[in-house]
Amino acid sequence: MEELNEEEDWFDQFVRYSRRGFITKDKSPELSNLKKRFDWFLRVHSQDPALIKPYPHIIFNFMDSENIGGFTGKEGDTYYIAISDATELILKDLFLRMLSHPNILTKIGDPTKEHFSQPIPDYFFNIRQMVESGHKGNYSLVKPKDVAREQYAYHLTYLALDYLFFHELSHILFGHIDLLKSGKGLGEDIPYHTDIVDRRNFDMQTLEMDADCSAIGRASEPLMDAHKKRDTIESPHHRNFYNDPYNLLSDLLFAAYNVIRLYGEGNFRDLSLGSATHPEPRIRQMMLSWTMGPVADQHNLDRGKMNSMLVPTIIESERAYTALTGNQIDRESFNPKYIDSNPLPRELRNNWTLNIREKLLPYTYKKLAS
Ligand SMILES: [Zn+2]
Segment 129-151, tens digit of pLDDT? 888 876 676 777 889 999 999 99
pLDDT for 184 beyond 80: no
Q: Which residues of 299-321 are buried (b: 16+ CB within 10 A; e: fewer)?
A: bebeeeebeebbeebbebbbbbb
Beta-carbon-side half-sphere exposure of residue 109 (alpha carbons within 13 Å): 25
pLDDT for 1 beyond 90: no
Ligand 1 center from residue 194 Cα (angstroms): 24
Ligand 1 center from residue 167 Cα (angstroms): 6
Ligand 1 center from residue 70 Cα (angstroms): 8
Strand ranges inside the chain, DSSP E: 22-23, 57-64, 70-75, 78-84
How confident is the model at residue 98, as a pLDDT?
Answer: 96
Q: Give the pLDDT mean for 276-305.
A: 95
Q: Give the pLDDT mean for 84-111.
A: 96
Ligand 1 center from residue 118 Cα (angstroms): 33
Ligand 1 center from residue 223 Cα (angstroms): 22
Ligand 1 center from residue 61 Cα (angstroms): 17
Cross-strand pairs, 79? 58, 74
Ligand 1 center from residue 285 Cα (angstroms): 14
CA distances from 179 to 8, 176, 352, 369 (A): 26, 5, 14, 17
Cα separation, 18 vs 12, whole angstroms: 10
Q: Give the pLDDT mean for 108-125.
A: 90
Q: Give the pLDDT mean for 236-259.
A: 96
CA distances from 9 to 4, 6, 14, 327 (A): 6, 5, 9, 44
Ligand 1 center from residue 266 Cα (angstroms): 17
Over residues 71-83, the pLDDT tens digits come to 999 999 999 999 9
The 10 Å Cβ neighbour count of residue 287 is: 20
Ligand 1 center from residue 331 Cα (angstroms): 27
Ligand 1 center from residue 274 Cα (angstroms): 15
Ligand 1 center from residue 211 Cα (angstroms): 6
Ligand 1 center from residue 224 Cα (angstroms): 24
Q: Give the pLDDT mean for 17-42.
A: 94
Cα separation, 220 vs 256, whole angstroms: 11
How confident is the model at residue 2, as a pLDDT?
Answer: 67
- Are 284 and 211 in contact by the 8 Å Cβ rule? The answer is no
Residue 110 is which amino acid?
D
Ligand 1 center from residue 208 Cα (angstroms): 5
Ligand 1 center from residue 175 Cα (angstroms): 13
pLDDT tier at 225, thresholds 50, 70, 90 = very high
How confident is the model at residue 137, as a pLDDT?
Answer: 66
Ligand 1 center from residue 231 Cα (angstroms): 35
- Are 149 and 323 in contact by the 8 Å Cβ rule? The answer is no
Ligand 1 center from residue 109 Cα (angstroms): 34
Cα separation, 65 vs 83, whole angstroms: 9
Over residues 316-342, the pLDDT tens digits come to 999 999 999 999 988 888 888 777 888
Q: What is the mean pLDDT of the chain?
A: 92
Ligand 1 center from residue 252 Cα (angstroms): 18
Ligand 1 center from residue 178 Cα (angstroms): 14
SS3 (DSSP) at 60: strand
Residues, beta carbon < 5 Å, ion ligand 1: 208, 211
Ligand 1 center from residue 200 Cα (angstroms): 15
Ligand 1 center from residue 343 Cα (angstroms): 21
% of the chain exceeding 90 in pLDDT: 75
Ligand 1 center from residue 102 Cα (angstroms): 34
Q: Give the pLDDT mean for 2-10.
A: 90
% of the chain exceeding 70 in pLDDT: 97
